[in-house]
Structure 1
Amino acid sequence: MVLAESTTGRRKRAVTELKRGLILDAARTVFERDGLDGASLRGIAAEAGYTPAALYFHFDSKEALYAEVLGQSIAVLQARVDEAVAKATTPQERLHAAALAFFDFYAANPRDLDLGFYLFRGGMRPHGLGRERDRALNEALEAALAPIRDAAMQLGASPEAARLVMADAFAHASGVLLLAHTQRIRMFGTDARLLMERYVDAALAGLASKEGR
Structure 2
Amino acid sequence: MNDSGRAERRETVAEHKRTIILDAARAVFEAEGLQGASMRMIAKAAGYTPGAIYAYFPSKEHIYAAALGESLERLKAATEAAVATGTPAQRFVAAGLAFFDFYDTNPRDLDLGFYLFRGGIHPQGLSVDLNAELNTKLLATLEPLRVAVLDDGAGADRARVVTADVLAHASGLLLLAHTKRLALFGGDARAMMRTHLCERLARGNTPESG
Do these two structures clear the TM 0.5 threshold for a shared fold by scoring above it? yes
Please point out which of 110, 116, 128 is paired with 1:131: 128
Q: Matches of residues 68-107 of structure 1 in structure 2 within 5 Å?
A: 68-86=66-84, 88-107=85-104
Q: CA RMSD in A?
A: 2.1
Q: In structure 2, how many angstroms separate the alpha carbons of the residues matched to 1:7 and 1:162?
A: 48
Q: Tell me the equivalent position of 2:40.
A: 42
- One-letter identity of the residue aligned with 1:184: R
Q: Tell me the equivalent position of 1:56.
A: 54
Q: Does the C-alpha gap of structure 1 residues 139 and 101 become closer, same or farther in structure 2, counting only changes over 3 Å?
A: same
Q: Tell me the equivalent position of 1:169.
A: 166
Q: In structure 1, how many angstroms separate the alpha carbons of the residues matched to 2:59 and 2:6?
A: 29
Report the TM-score when normalising by structure 1: 0.91
Q: In structure 2, how many angstroms separate the alpha carbons of the residues matched to 1:50 and 1:36?
A: 20
Gaps of 5+ in 1: none
Q: In structure 2, how many angstroms separate the alpha carbons of the residues matched to 1:161 and 1:128?
A: 33
CA contact (8 A) 2:29 2:117 kept: no
Give the aligned length: 209
Identity percentage of aligned residues: 53
Report the TM-score when normalising by structure 2: 0.92
Q: Tell me the equivalent position of 1:207.
A: 204
Higher-helix-fraction structure = 1
- One-letter identity of the residue aligned with 2:152: L
Q: In structure 2, how many angstroms separate the alpha carbons of the residues matched to 1:17 and 1:146?
A: 29
CA contact (8 A) 2:158 2:205 kept: no
Please point out which of 23, 26, 39 is paired with 1:25: 23
Q: Does the C-alpha gap of structure 1 residues 132 and 126 become closer, same or farther in structure 2, counting only changes over 3 Å?
A: closer
Please point out which of 187, 191, 207 is paired with 1:194: 191
Superposed CA offset, 1:179-213 (max 9, x none)? 101110011111111111111011010126779xx
Q: In structure 1, how many angstroms separate the alpha carbons of the residues matched to 2:6 and 2:181?
A: 55
Q: Does the C-alpha gap of structure 1 residues 49 and 120 become closer, same or farther in structure 2, counting only changes over 3 Å?
A: closer
